[in-house]
Amino acid sequence: MHTGMLCLLTIPPRSQLCGLPTHCMAMESKGAVHEDAPPVVFWVPEEAEKLDQEGKGQVKDRGQWTNKMDFVLAVAGEIIGLGNVWRFPYLCYKNGGGAFFIPYLVFFFTCGIPVFFLEVALGQYTSQGSVTAWRKICPLLQGIGLASVVIESYLNVYYIIILAWALFYLFSSFTSELPWTTCTNNWNTEHCVDFLNHSGASTATPSENFTSPVVEFWERRVLGITSGIHELGALRWELALCLLLAWVICYFCIWKGVKITGKVVYFTATFPYVMLVILLIRGVTLPGAYEGIVYYLKPDLFRLKDPQVWMDAGTQIFFSFAICQGCLTALGSYNKYHNNCYRDSIALCFLNSATSFAAGFVVFSILGFMSQEQGVPISEVAESGPGLAFIAFPKAVTMMPLSPLWSCLFFIMLIFLGLDSQFVCMECLVTASVDMFPRQLRKSGRRELLILAVSVTCYLIGLFLVTEGGMYIFQLFDYYASSGTCLLFLSVFEVICISWVYGADRFYDNVEDMIGYRPWPLLKISWLFLTPGLCLATFLFSLSKYTPLKYNNVYVYPPWGYSIGWFLALSSMICVPLFIVVTLLKTQGPFKKRLRQLVTPDPSLPQPKRHLCLDGSTDQACTPSPAREGLIAGEKETRL
């Protein structure tokens, strides 16, 4: 093979090719360029050029992860959260046990991995948060990024309420006897019956309207819940203090940027696994655990005929992978340009699903134990969501020796599962804001002030959710604001934007430029056909099967309550069509010219097209010949 001079050039627009002098960079070679050597790409973002004109030192650098592990653990902390513990196992048993893995794996490979990787790669390629990343790729569809910011904002308000509840339970566990064990507390009613110890506040019998002490602790001691959303009641000051503590912790986890966040997640993302292993060992050694695990895994293939099973599988993938929330794009934007985001994405997707699967053994081993102790079917003790975390599990630990210890361990695990998801989501919201206004916010002290302002605002709004009627507001946020319907809607536009507007082949070229090779072809096929088709079908089915929210399947919200819920849902989805119209109206010129301009990527983005000069010259200009122009205009990266 010829040994000569290698010149890697960033190719300008075709109109500027004629007469442009190019300079070769001398590289010693033993006959070939190493295949894994990163290509040289000269890229100065438009924002950076503007900032340089204003003078150096005024604006801080955007920052990057210190190393790959910072990024991996930050993403793991974001995607592995409470839903892995309290939602996935419940969906398995509800939708046919082991048979549920069939639709789950279908969505995992055709929607989960493709969209997850798309968002991470988009952030790494553009080095921008969710809004500005989509604006650079396709200005017409920048509403995708704005919609994700709206969802992030809602998540920042209500998700942290779960941490406040968990902190309250943790502090209540520092006693010799757990307060939800008996019916002798001042918050218990005459209907409270503890069948485990055969005691009660009255002589209630099973035929009467009775409640358990763990339910009364949750509803009367923690929530102080009212009769409906129309009656907010008083502020629960203990929960307000727990919420304040949660926000203070979140603030100091991210206030100095990703370099600090990347170190915090070393503990917050790994410690829940230690707790999960401890609880798993304890769970499988309990009597009745085997029956619970069998109930969790036993397949019922007839359930696959029900479309609801497939919809649950699809929405669970989008929930647990944090897709369409802007977080993956923001976290990926702090990667180095040549980081292998493809390998990272595949590993993180499998880690997330494996964690959900393992959590099912913890949950159902303990539910099997509860079933045997109480002498009731597992279906009567199995719950999902807050009911599992704050009723079923607290009830289970009262049946174990050293119950305060197991209660503390469980709620510490819950706190860390929710904590890193919360502060990483907060970091992504701040990233999007700073990238939208870099000259105003990327200066000394202003980022910290922005984080403080967002934290205080979210805390003040969150106080409505820790009133006596706050649980009804929380349910509205959880059911509508970040519902599977919203995420499915945005995912359709995301994959259409990348695969059909920007171009799947072009994005594959960008990915190849970053990681050095082209990813699995199934990803491109999924972006083009499988993902938009499945997401659109699931979205339409979820609309056709819509059922209004009921708290505890009993309380029906007033019409204005449902109106608030639909406002929360539509406020994110409307961003996409709204900004299509707005950007078209604000752009000058004929319609076709405006449309062409608004689907053209930002020219400041890195260009994978490069020209190789192999004329053997040394340290002198080399000009591309007309015969080589085909190499410049070619779609695929040229390799030696």
Q: Which residues are annotated as a binding site?
A: 77, 84, 320, 352, 417, 420-421
| Helices H / strands E in the chain, number of each | 30, 6
What are the CA-CA distances from residue 509 to residues 129, 140, 506, 635 (Å)? 21, 22, 5, 7
Residue 516 CA to residue 593 CA, distance in Å, equals: 35
> What is the total residue count of the chain?
640
Question: 424 with 224: CB under 8 angstroms?
Answer: no
Element of type H or E holding 556: strand 555-556
SS3 209: coil
Residue 361: CB atoms within 10 Å = 20
Q: Which residues pair with residue 611 across a beta bridge?
A: 9
| Contact present, 112 and 355 (Cβ < 8 Å) | no
* CA separation for the pair 494, 28 (Å, rounded): 43
C-alpha closest to that of 230 among 556, 564, 565, 558: 558
**CA–CA separation, 131 and 417 (whole Å):** 27
- State how far the Cα of 235 lies from the Cα of 239, in Å rounded to an integer: 8
How much of the chain is in helix, strand and coil states, percent to nearest 5?
Answer: 65, 5, 30
Q: Are 369 and 399 in contact (CB under 8 A)?
A: yes
Per the CB < 8 A criterion, the answer to whether 291 and 90 are in contact is no
Which parts are annotated binding residues for Na(+)? Answer: 77, 84, 320, 352, 417, 420-421
Please tell me the distance from the alpha carbon of residue 363 to that of residue 624, in angstroms, as a whole number.
65
Kindly provide the b/e burial profile for residues 162-175, where b requires at least 16 CB atoms within 10 angstroms of the residue's own CB: bbbbbbbbbebbee
Please measure the distance between the N-terminal and C-terminal CA atoms of the chain and give it in whole angstroms: 10
CA angle 335, 429, 445 (to 5 degrees): 85
H-helix segments, 398-519: 403-436, 438-441, 446-462, 470-476, 484-496, 504-515
Per DSSP, the residues of 55-106 read -TTSS------SSHHHHHHHHHHHHSSHHHHHTHHHHHHHTTGGGGHHHHHH
What letters, b where the CB count within 10 A reaches 16 and e where it falls short, cover 95-118? bbbebbbbbbebbbbbbbbbbbbb
CB 339 within 8 A of CB 514: yes
- State the residue for tokens 């995912």: 491
Collapsing DSSP to helix, strand or coil, 286 comes out as coil
Q: Residue 555 pairs with which residues in a beta bridge?
A: 551
Distance CA 507, CA 636 (A): 11
Give the Cβ contact number of residue 602 at 10 Å: 15
